[in-house]
Structure 1
Amino acid sequence: MKAANRDFTRAMNQFNILNTIREVGRISRVEIAEKTGQSRASVTNITAAMIREGIIREEPCRCTPSRGRKRIMLVLNPEAAYVVGVKISAFQVSFAVVDFIGDVKSSLVMPIRVSERDEETVADFIEDGVRHCVEDARLSMEDISGCGIGVSGFVDSAAGKCLWTPLKDGTSHIRSMVARRLGVDTYIENDANSVTVASQWFGQGKGIDNFLVVTVEHGVGMGIVVDGKLYRGATGIGAEFGHVVLVPDGEPCRCGKRGCVEAYACDGNILRRARGVLSRRRGGKLDLDRLTIEDVTRMAKDGDAGLRRIFREGGTILGQGIAGLIQIFNPERVIVTGEGVRAGDLVFGPMRRAVKKYLNKEQAAVTRIVVQEWNDFDWARGAAGFVLSELYKSPLDRTRLAK
């Protein structure tokens, strides 16, 4: 066998072993051999190298053995590597430092109107946020194995380019700018894809081979996992669920079309439509320029009929779209998440009714829809999760143990 082929085979074996330990949590060498199909000798040799490098560690089995000595279990070492995730949104940038198993060690949210700043300024801002977050985790940049950036829009992650984002005009070069400032491997990915990878690795999608993630915030995004693999499409810019037109000549969308899912269901357009409704009321004392989506949500929950109708329409369109996705992909699970989950039953009651209306009962029976609670750092954790997935492919070459 040629050396290149041997190296490739060994790298694949390393990944399969590491991924098996990640999925199970605690597992013996014998069980790893059974699950991966590798020989016990190969598993022993590869895991020995990983133990020496501090990537995994041994722990005694917590069970009571029927005879003989306790089995030795293998687990991931959380301190094997640390990565940083960055999420660029319209009005803020969020940061998270996570360890090798995806636990958040520190997080930070910093307000900035991204569209009103040039990219050099945004890159400087991101550098300051990353360094602050790393320091807050009591680490140094030498401890960081990589940085992931999540952004909405068309992202060619392989080339490291953002081809289009609603946050700015033209192609974005933010990845290379941040990489130059931080001096670590830096990746960029569509934000919904990042959250999907994080869901697959340590969230609601863990252990599920076919599922969808629908994200609702200032826009509407989607991630697709088919047969355990993230699906991006022929050119890497698929899964733009938010820009599927469901209402011909309907409400305007920031993509330039009309009647998109996003034009009804996302925070930005719900807020826009709410301002329109409130501006037509006589005697209004609200400062509409300062009105936030949180304000609108609270008013709707308090019973404002006009605002409740806007949320209801958004939820119905979202449910109609998700029903279509279920018919196409037949997923085991659809995970709905993002800042927009704050709306609760204002959106998700109508959404579930629409899904039921537009699906046959046989289709609806096999798919579970999960509305996942959201934290400010979840976007950034998703971007960090994408970096972890890259690290797992070649852990012996790329992890940096904290000193």
Structure 2
Amino acid sequence: MIKVANRDFTRAVNQFNILNRIREAGRISRVEIAEQTGQSRASVTNITAAMIEQGLIREEQSGDKPSRGRRRIMLALNPDAAFVVGVKISELQVSFAVVDFIGDVKSSLIMPIRVSERSEEIVADFIEDGVRHCVKDAKLNMEDIAGCGVAVSGFVDSASGTCLWTPLKEGQSLIRQLLAERLNMDVFLENDANSVTVAAQWFGQGKGVDDFLVVTMEHGVGMGIVVNGNMYRGHNGIGAEFGHVVMVPDGEPCRCGKNGCIESYVSDGAILRRSRAFLSRRRGEKPDLDQLTIEDVTAMAKNGDAGLKKIFREAGTILGQGISGLIQIFNPQKVIIMGEGVRAGDLVYAPMRRAVKKFVNAELYEATEILLQEWHDDDWARGAAGFVLSELYKSPLDCIRRAK
């Protein structure tokens, strides 16, 4: 006889498999769930009935009109089953998003703050205010929020919620603990690139794809890796630091302390720094270099400034060399490039594609789709919220592995 605890565990695994199948399909019938999960129709009926009662899923009529009889009853996630909040901490701003159980944004907010110039206690107070404002704007109460995800650049051990290094401050960060105390809820800390990778896997262009890479472009360069449907983090959870792979020995200084990293040529900050240095040497009238922004130099390059175009071209070539190495190692189905840096368009990504084609074996090149994802202001925070949703959905098997 199966012990009660084992029966409960088996039922929890079966419920997770059904819930995950509904999430991936969007809308699906009980018969299709049984066929795809291998569970009996009776088991699927009983488990889905309990999930409907719990408010996790709901019934919807099929849009397809049958030749006879009633429309099929489909199952879908209940968007109101849970709400979570995501926070992205950047160098010059903090962004917020409240999302529902299917990842739709209910409210969002961006607040400017020079994070590196403030103490973590002040930053935590600032974030608390932003979270409460965003939750209120979504017409929800703090008690309605199931958890908060915080995304930050740097070396993050998400299992322990520890930020070992971030370019935004010196020393180890305590932001997760500070926010948990202020918000009185579970707070999950994650590397920013990993958080948007989870969002891509659950809601975006990585949905249904077992092997893909995400490369993020903003003030830094990050990466997320999905292999066989699972996020790869490395031995102690801080792998995938693509931006800090050295491509140019003894090259440009990087904020990580090394020289010649991909980030020191490709990130917004690197391109802006190199553009200011180039313009400072130019004869004649110069723009106000202190007020110059990445948007300014991008526009100038797109308008034909040959010197600035060269800086973007070099960035694209170095990025392409780096991505070609990733493709050779991982053989991904997709490489998804996202972040504010996609604004550069062909200035960076045309030379990037040429470099990838040049340095990747033809068979691997043909098997890989490289995508630029249009970027929206709330995508970083939505990614952080998506990470919390992935924790809520987590399989009982994953919970056991994490507890060990």
Same fold (TM > 0.5): yes
Equivalences for residues 39-118 of structure 1 within 5 A: 39-118=40-119
What are structure 1's unaligned runs of at least 5 residues? Answer: 396-403
TM-superposed CA distance for 1:118, in Å, is 0.4
* Other-structure match for 1:359: 360
8 Å CA contact 1:147–1:187 kept in 2: the answer is yes
TM-superposed CA distance for 1:46, in Å, is 1.4
* Other-structure match for 1:279: 280
Secondary structure of 1:290's aligned partner? coil
TM-superposed CA distance for 1:369, in Å, is 0.1
Structure 1 letter corresponding to 2:284: G
8 Å CA contact 2:301–2:309 kept in 1: the answer is yes
* Other-structure match for 2:28: 27
Structure with higher RCO (Cα < 8 A, 6+ apart): 1
* Other-structure match for 1:300: 301
Secondary structure of 2:304's aligned partner? coil
8 Å CA contact 1:150–1:191 kept in 2: the answer is yes
TM-superposed CA distance for 1:10, in Å, is 2.2
TM-superposed CA distance for 1:4, in Å, is 3.7
* Other-structure match for 1:190: 191
RMSD: 1.3
User: Percent of aligned pairs with the same residue?
Assistant: 77
Counterpart-to-counterpart distance in 2, 1:51 and 1:360: 50
Counterpart-to-counterpart distance in 2, 1:200 and 1:387: 13
Secondary structure of 2:370's aligned partner? strand
8 Å CA contact 1:252–1:258 kept in 2: the answer is yes
Structure 2 letter corresponding to 1:339: E
Counterpart-to-counterpart distance in 2, 1:243 and 1:146: 31
> Which deviations, in whole Å up to 9, do the C-alpha atoms of 1:16-39 show, x marking residues without a partner?
111100111111111111111122
* Other-structure match for 2:311: 310
Counterpart-to-counterpart distance in 2, 1:285 and 1:70: 68
Aligned residues: 395
8 Å CA contact 1:87–1:93 kept in 2: the answer is yes
TM-superposed CA distance for 1:143, in Å, is 1.1
TM-superposed CA distance for 1:291, in Å, is 1.1
* Other-structure match for 2:245: 244
TM-superposed CA distance for 1:67, in Å, is 4.3
Structure 2 letter corresponding to 1:293: I
* Other-structure match for 1:399: none
* Other-structure match for 1:208: 209
Structure 1 letter corresponding to 2:253: P
Counterpart-to-counterpart distance in 1, 2:71 and 2:372: 41
TM-superposed CA distance for 1:140, in Å, is 1.0
* Other-structure match for 1:400: none
TM-superposed CA distance for 1:284, in Å, is 3.4
TM-score by length of 2: 0.96
TM-superposed CA distance for 1:60, in Å, is 1.8
* Other-structure match for 1:153: 154
Equivalences for residues 260-275 of structure 1 within 5 A: 260-275=261-276
8 Å CA contact 2:86–2:97 kept in 1: the answer is yes
Secondary structure of 1:289's aligned partner? coil
Counterpart-to-counterpart distance in 1, 2:153 and 2:10: 35
TM-superposed CA distance for 1:66, in Å, is 4.1
> Which deviations, in whole Å up to 9, do the C-alpha atoms of 1:77-101 show, x marking residues without a partner?
1111111000000111000111111
> Which deviations, in whole Å up to 9, do the C-alpha atoms of 1:370-392 show, x marking residues without a partner?
00010111000000000011111
8 Å CA contact 1:97–1:107 kept in 2: the answer is yes
Equivalences for residues 310-389 of structure 1 within 5 A: 310-389=311-390
TM-superposed CA distance for 1:246, in Å, is 1.0
Counterpart-to-counterpart distance in 2, 1:393 and 1:238: 22
Identify which range, 336-345 or 63-72, moves more after superposition: 63-72
Secondary structure of 1:149's aligned partner? strand
Counterpart-to-counterpart distance in 2, 1:387 and 1:81: 11
Counterpart-to-counterpart distance in 1, 2:127 and 2:3: 44
8 Å CA contact 2:279–2:286 kept in 1: the answer is no
Identify which range, 327-336 or 54-63, moves more after superposition: 54-63
* Other-structure match for 2:167: 166
Secondary structure of 1:319's aligned partner? helix
8 Å CA contact 1:85–1:96 kept in 2: the answer is yes
Counterpart-to-counterpart distance in 2, 1:27 and 1:292: 48
Identify which range, 16-25 or 61-70, moves more after superposition: 61-70
Counterpart-to-counterpart distance in 2, 1:3 and 1:177: 40
Structure 2 letter corresponding to 1:294: E
Structure 1 letter corresponding to 2:298: T
Identify which range, 44-53 or 309-318, moves more after superposition: 44-53
8 Å CA contact 1:12–1:393 kept in 2: the answer is no
Counterpart-to-counterpart distance in 2, 1:176 and 1:164: 16
TM-superposed CA distance for 1:59, in Å, is 1.2
8 Å CA contact 2:105–2:382 kept in 1: the answer is yes
Structure 2 letter corresponding to 1:209: D
> Which deviations, in whole Å up to 9, do the C-alpha atoms of 1:122-181 show, x marking residues without a partner?
000100111111111111111111110000111111111111111111110101111111
TM-superposed CA distance for 1:324, in Å, is 0.5
